[in-house]
Amino acid sequence: MTLDPKIPSGPLQEKWDRRKQELKLVAPANKRKYRVIVVGTGLAGASAAATLGELGYTVDAFCFQDSPRRGHSIAAQGGINAAKNYPNDGDSIWRLFQDTIKGGDFRSREANVYRLAQVSANIIDQAVAQGVPFARDYAGYLDNRSFGGAQVSRTFYARGQTGQQLLLGAYGSLMRQVRLGSVLLHPRTEMLDLVVVDGHARGITVRDLVTGKVASFAGDAVCLATGGYTNVFYLSTNAIGSNVTAAFRAFKKGAFFANPCFTQIHPTCIPVTGDHQSKLTLMSESLRNDGRVWVPKDRDDKREPGSIPESDRDYYLERKYPAYGNLAPRDIASRAAKEVCDEGRGVGPGRRGVYLDFRNAIERLGESTIRERYGNLFEMYERITDENAYRRPMRIYPAPHYSMGGLWVDYNLMSTVPGLFALGEANFSDHGANRLGASALMQGLADGYFIIPYTLADYLARVAPGAVRADHQEFRQSREAAAAYTEKLLQVKGKRTASDFHRELGRLMWENVGMARSKESLTSALKRIPELRAEFWENVKVPGTGEQLNQQLEKAGRVADFLEFSELMTRDALLREESCGGHFRIEHQTPDHEAKRDDANFAHIAAWEYQGEGKEPALHKEPLTFENVELAVRNYK
């Protein structure tokens, strides 16, 4: 099978306009006859469901949380990029495009990224119209800040809660459609299977998390906006419930999974304190605007940070990357932190931490300015660590944060299963091998507000509405299989809890498939994962029954999928014999330890096809061509 990304012809700047002209439309009176299923209500899902509802489609929106307002987009802190050039500092659509392609280490599609930069400005306008309270200056204009990987200020923000405010904006629009009857909401409902009839996505099978009832919903198209998979590492900045299940089960039904090894390790998180820990908390990257990252020059320096004079500090990001300094992109800043800790110069308990110091900024700007910019982050830091970051530098360390990989989609956001679309973090499309800060919110909302409403119509216009109902045989089989799977989990009746397995898998993945990967570590993980998975199916203990609210059962199902998905991710990392962005193979580095790409052999998207249980997945390659930017070595020095 050849993967056709369906990129429009013509110059880069005209591709999206050209595509919009080519796309078919659905007449207003016919829209309500089409039922669209949207899974996930974070930024991508909520914006898509609301917009499709506004357009007149009949929408079913699903989320596993008790309310659609709780999707994990809500936790995004720092901001959202847009090529508005309000500060007049030289920004443009072209520059945002270029920064994103370069930031992604030349492993994303030019056409997708350009479109993202084009619609970025519309997102800000839309959010302002919804009443999102972005930061303003004293004249009432929108304020901007700068972010990692960029030399312009293009990031819009709402204190340290930009994701929350944007999500509440989309949630408001979604609730309006619920009120108007175009969207039917299904909270506390988890997708367990994608139903494919005659090669087309026709619906989903779900479990009602309160009653345990397994049911199916038929639709004319299915949009997955189910987020990322970095909880495969157990400890990550994701929410406890974030999981790969919906995407992975779609993979098992024929949707290709692209670049699963591309995961982002965020440089500024609160370090791990102990085995009990259930998650890692991110401190917004925006802190790097005013905070300076350092460790002691001498590994045996035991002094309190405040007593270490300037001459004994190593501001290693400023030293190594003078052009970008503390604003070096995430993958580079993370690896640099790991490097100094590997040298034994880490700080804090366990010595896996570096300082993020605000002393100079407080001296320069005053404590009240810093409080205004980051007050809530400093409070959060204090609650978790019991330390006052106005007085003592924060301790930070990298943590798994975002997955650039995801379901393969073409330019129209459609997967390899016709009628199945993937949006936001759930797809792989725009960030290449590394995502720049403040670009996740931008992509989620671009997909949901401004892309899917156009491209979905083109698909729907080609199919008859309501062709398949949920009493179709495929749906019945899907329900039976989902119920049997649940029963199988309950019947193992072993000794170890699902969390226990998850913790072990996470440690295995972090050590072997984390920030630095080698042939040896990946091969050993590929050997160990199937063993752990076999043990899981012999020894997991899931209490209770399937006919009730059973959080352990939910957890076990998600862990079971991580135990399979992790193998796919590791295999992808093993086959990609190069370093690029967040994927760092220690065999492939430059003499000064930077990622060394191999464009001759790996300038492609690796898309994996499921071949059945126990069989190795098949690899398909979509070549990446760069006609508008020059493939260059990333240089942030």
What residues numbered 570-629 form the site for another protein, per CB under 8 A? none
Q: Please tell me whether residue 552 binds another protein under the rule CB under 8 A.
A: yes
SS3 72: helix
Active site residues: 330
Binding-site member from 137, 300, 471, 592 for another protein (CB under 8 A): 137
Residue 121 tokens, joined: 């400005």
Span interacting with another protein, options 13-21, 67-75, 363-371, 628-636, rule CB under 8 A: 67-75
Given candidates 13, 151, 497, 589, which one binds another protein under the rule CB under 8 A? Answer: 497
Please give the C-alpha separations between residue 335 and each of 154, 197, 285, in angstroms, as whole numbers.
Answer: 25, 46, 15
Question: 407, 224 in Cβ contact below 8 A?
Answer: yes
563 makes contact with another protein (CB under 8 A): no
Biggest alpha carbon–alpha carbon distance for the chain: 74
The pair of structure tokens assigned to 215 is 């049911």
Which parts of 277-316 interact with another protein (CB under 8 A)? 277-279, 281-282
User: Nearest approach, Cβ of 115 to another protein (angstroms)?
Assistant: 16
The length of the chain is 637
Q: Tokens 């991580």: give the residue.
A: 562
Minimum CB–partner distance for residue 47 and another protein (Å): 8
Is residue 11 near another protein by the rule CB under 8 A?
A: no
Residues numbered 138 to 167 that lie near another protein (CB under 8 A) are: 138-142, 156, 158-159, 161, 164-165
For another protein, give the closer residue by CB, 210 or 618: 210
Binding to another protein by CB under 8 A, coded x per residue (else -) over 41-60, reads ------x--xx--x------
> 10, 11, 133, 366: which one contacts another protein (CB under 8 A)?
133
1 forms part of the interface with another protein (CB under 8 A)? no
* Alpha carbon distance 570, 78 (integer Å): 30
Among 368, 369, 551, 601, binds another protein (CB under 8 A): 551
On whether the CB atoms of residues 512 and 235 are closer than 8 A, the answer is: no
Which of 114, 134, 358, 411 is in the footprint of another protein by CB under 8 A?
134
| Rounded-to-integer distance, Cα 374 and Cα 235, Å | 25
Residue 67 to residue 73: CA distance in whole angstroms = 13
CA 224, 225, 229 angle in degrees (round to 5)? 100
Report residue 149 as tokens: 């990987």
Specify the stretch interacting with another protein by CB under 8 A; choose among 304-312, 314-322, 382-390, 557-565.
382-390
Does 387 interact with another protein (rule: CB under 8 A)?
no
If one asks whether residue 368 binds another protein (CB under 8 A), the answer comes out as no
Closer to another protein by CB, 48 or 328: give it: 48
Q: Are 522 and 513 in contact (CB under 8 A)?
A: yes
The residues in 508-527 that bind another protein, with binding defined as CB under 8 A, are none
Nearer to another protein, 166 or 317 (CB): 166
Q: Which of residues 409-468 bind another protein (CB under 8 A)?
A: 449-450, 453
Identify the residue among 80, 124, 399, 513 touching another protein (CB under 8 A): 124
Nearer residue to another protein within complex by CB, 164 or 579: 164
**Which 8-state DSSP code applies to residue 623?**
E
In the complex, the smallest distance separating the C-beta of residue 133 from another protein, rounded to whole angstroms, is 4
Q: Which residues of 46-64 are buried (b: 16+ CB within 10 A; e: fewer)?
A: bbbbbbbbbbbbbbbbbbb
Q: How far is the CB of 69 from another protein (least distance, A)?
A: 6
Q: How many helices (H) and strands (E) does the chain have?
A: 18, 19
CB of 374 to another protein, least distance (A): 15
Q: Which of 25, 549, 586, 632 binds another protein (CB under 8 A)?
A: 549
| Tokens 């306008």, residue located | 125
Q: Is residue 539 a contact point for another protein (CB under 8 A)?
A: no
Which alpha helices (H) appear in 497-550, and where do they start and end?
498-513, 519-539
Q: 412 vs 512, which CB is nearer to another protein?
A: 412
Pick from 178, 188, 179, 186: which is nearest to 203 by CA? 186
The least CB distance from residue 247 to another protein, in Å, is 18
Any contact of residue 384 with another protein (CB under 8 A)? Answer: yes
Provide the CA 344 distance to its chain's centre, in angstroms. Answer: 31
Of the candidates 4, 14, 312, 379, which one interacts with another protein according to CB under 8 A?
Answer: 379
User: Does 25 participate in binding another protein (rule CB under 8 A)?
Assistant: no
Question: For strand 257-258 and strand 406-407, is the pairing parallel, antiparallel, or unpaired?
Answer: antiparallel
Q: Which residue has the tokens 């725009």?
A: 430
Q: Which stretch binds another protein (CB under 8 A): 117-125, 302-310, 331-339, 421-429?
A: 117-125
Task: Count the neighbouring beta carbons within 10 Å of the beta carbon of residue 359.
Answer: 16
Q: Classify strands 292-296 and 313-314 as parallel, antiparallel or unpaired.
A: antiparallel
Count of C-beta atoms within a 10 Å radius of residue 293: 27
* Binding residues among 173-192 for another protein as defined by CB under 8 A: 173, 175-176, 178-179, 185, 187
Q: Segment 186-245, which members bind another protein (CB under 8 A)?
A: 187, 210, 239-241
> Which residues neighbour 355 within 8 Å (Cβ) at sequence distance 6 or greater?
293, 294, 295, 305, 347, 393, 394, 395, 396
For residue 66, the minimal CB distance to another protein (Å) is 6
* Segment interacting with another protein (CB under 8 A) among 136-144, 292-300, 353-361, 411-419: 136-144
Sole residue written with tokens 């580079």: 332
Q: Is 130 in the site for another protein (CB under 8 A)?
A: yes
Q: Smallest distance from the beta carbon of 271 to another protein, in angstroms?
A: 11
